[in-house]
Amino acid sequence: MPTVEDVRAALLGVIDPELGDNVVDLGMVRDIEVDPDGFVTVTIALTVAGCPLQKQLRTDVDGQVGAVPGVAGVAVRMGEMDATEKAALMARARHKAQDRGIVTDIPAAARILAIASGKGGVGKSSVTANLAVSLAGRGLTVGVLDADIWGFSLPRMLGLEGQVAGEDRKMVPIEQPIGLGLLKVLSMGLIGGAAEDQAIMWRGLILNRAVQHFLEDVRWGDLDYLLIDMPPGTGDVQMGLARMLPRADMIIVTTPALAAQKVAARAADMAKRGYLRVAGVVENMTAFTCDHGDEYALFGSGGGRRLAEELGVPLLGQVPIEPAVARGGDEGRPAALGDGPAADVFRAIAEKIVLDVAPLVELTGCSARMLDAIEKALAKAPEPAG
């Protein structure tokens, strides 16, 4: 039988997507009931009763608690915080905002998706490029930040050349129209002096500082989504981004192999420790289908689904092995811009993101607007003496 403490521990993985903290420490978990038959009822108190984020929180609670062994079913009730509870929540949010210590030009309503993996070679950058053009193809404005400083590859994958412009000491990303939408791309490969075949030999602290510049000193303008191509692993850059962008959602990329699944789980564990919401899993290189219709699972099977079930998050899609994906990356025309099985999967994942996983919502009056006001006040505050 699951206990109340088992459920509470699972709820530590439910992150308020705007405040960048878990619902337990934010004081949003008002009550937990566990019936003798294993049915669990969780009551969540929102800052505003009609907050559009309640659907996402409900889904996340259901997924995290439903993954606890012995849980037969989950019911989620929503309430509204009283003045005392709301004051305590905002005090914690203010403290976290002070700890973060940076102010960015990323709009408060933009959804931030960090595309991460536990190891290299799983196609994380390819997934980032194809999801970016799939989202932009829906008429959205999509920022793309290539945070893989050592191994930048997005300029080639997206067919971009030139250098980012400067305006009032801010970098202006290179823009590329995609259908009715727009990409805004920033990468080390688009900054003067960074040759594609030249090693960048920087230590961790310098890399982390470079990524901070990519956040602080960029004029993003209007954005619907910001996709961040994360470097592989769980080092300085990843921990720095978790601190500087607490409202980011993480999408974990893995391959079907059990070994890749276990390594990818480390990236998810880092997200949990950094209070980042894991929004879902993408399984890349799922299987190859030959001209005769026979399917071959070259890298094993089931890794993506097992990881998603273990984390209590959705499996967003399984991308097949298809020559068009590699060819599109080499030629600067992502496969999602064309037709084929992989293109269909990428567009389906983008639809899930927009409709269910990280939808764009009007956040007036919600916690995001409260935090935005806090950050602006902190930015205007004078430096402490001494």
Q: What is the pLDDT along the chain (386 residues), one digit of tens a residue?
A: 899 999 999 999 898 877 778 899 889 999 999 999 999 999 999 888 777 788 889 999 999 999 999 999 999 999 998 888 888 888 877 776 666 657 788 888 899 999 998 877 888 999 999 999 999 999 999 999 998 877 788 989 999 987 887 777 888 999 999 999 999 999 888 886 555 555 554 555 566 677 778 888 899 999 999 999 988 776 666 777 777 777 789 999 999 988 888 888 888 888 877 778 899 999 999 988 888 777 888 788 888 999 999 898 999 999 999 999 999 999 999 999 999 999 999 999 999 999 988 988 765 556 555 555 555 555 555 554 44
Say how far apart CA 233 and CA 242 lie, in whole Å: 13
Q: In this structure, are residues 218 and 171 in contact, taking their beta carbons and an 8 Å threshold?
A: yes
Place of tokens 């402490």: 384
Residue 311 and residue 14 in contact, taking contact as beta carbons nearer than 8 Å:
no
CA dihedral 184, 189, 194, 196 (to 10 degrees): -160
Burial class (CB in 10 A: 0-12, 13-18, 19+), 16: buried
pLDDT at 201: 47
Q: Which residues of 324-358 are buried (b: 16+ CB within 10 A; e: fewer)?
A: bbeebbeeebbbbbeebbbbebbbebbbbbbeebb
Task: Tell me the Cα Rg of the chain.
Answer: 21
**Which residues on neighbouring strands pair with residue 113, listed in sequence order?**
227, 249
Per-residue pLDDT at 370: 56
Residue 113 identity: L
What pLDDT is recorded for position 385? 46
Joined together, the tokens standing for residue 123 give 């196609």
**Domains of the chain (ranges plus CATH)?**
4-102+363-380 (3.30.300.130), 111-357 (3.40.50.300)
Report the Cα 98 to chain-centroid distance in Å. 22
* Tokens of residue 164, six digits: 């980012």
Query: How far is Cα 298 from Cα 146, in angstroms, rounded to an integer?
Result: 29
| Matching residue, tokens 């088992």 | 6
The SS3 assignment for 287 reads coil
Q: Supply the pTM of this predicted model.
A: 0.80
d(CA 211, CA 218) in angstroms, rounded, equals: 11
Between the alpha carbon of residue 325 and those of residues 63, 306, 334, 351, the distances in Å are: 31, 24, 7, 19
What pLDDT does residue 314 have? 93
